[in-house]
């Protein structure tokens, strides 16, 4: 399932996939794969992404 919440939060902060990847210490391809739903990140990576974009785990990774 695509993670449009992450893509939206990243876009709202006006940061690229590469910039977010640099902040959290992964490759741009990893961020792209998470947004496409092709990769299930670890909880530690989820937390780092949430901190980077100022959102909670529920905001970005909880499926309704």
CATH code (residue 41)? 1.10.260.40
Domain that holds residue 11: 4-61
What pTM does this model have?
0.92
Q: What is the distance between the alpha carbons of residues 12 and 17, in angstroms, rounded to a whole number? A: 12
Q: What is the distance between the alpha carbons of residues 64 and 32, in angstroms, rounded to a whole number? A: 22
Q: What is the pLDDT of residue 64?
A: 73
1 pLDDT higher than 90: no
Number of structural domains the chain divides into: 1
pLDDT digit string, tens, across residues 26-48: 999 999 999 999 999 999 999 99
Which has the closest alpha carbon to 48: 28, 22, 29? 22
């Amino acid at each position: 399932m695509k993670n449009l919440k992450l893509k939206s939060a990243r876009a709202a902060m006006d940061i690229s996939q590469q910039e977010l990847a640099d902040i959290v210490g992964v490759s741009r391809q990893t961020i792209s794969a998470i947004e496409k739903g092709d990769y299930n990140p670890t909880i530690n990576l989820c937390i780092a992404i949430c901190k980077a974009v100022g959102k909670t785990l529920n905001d970005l990774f909880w499926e309704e």
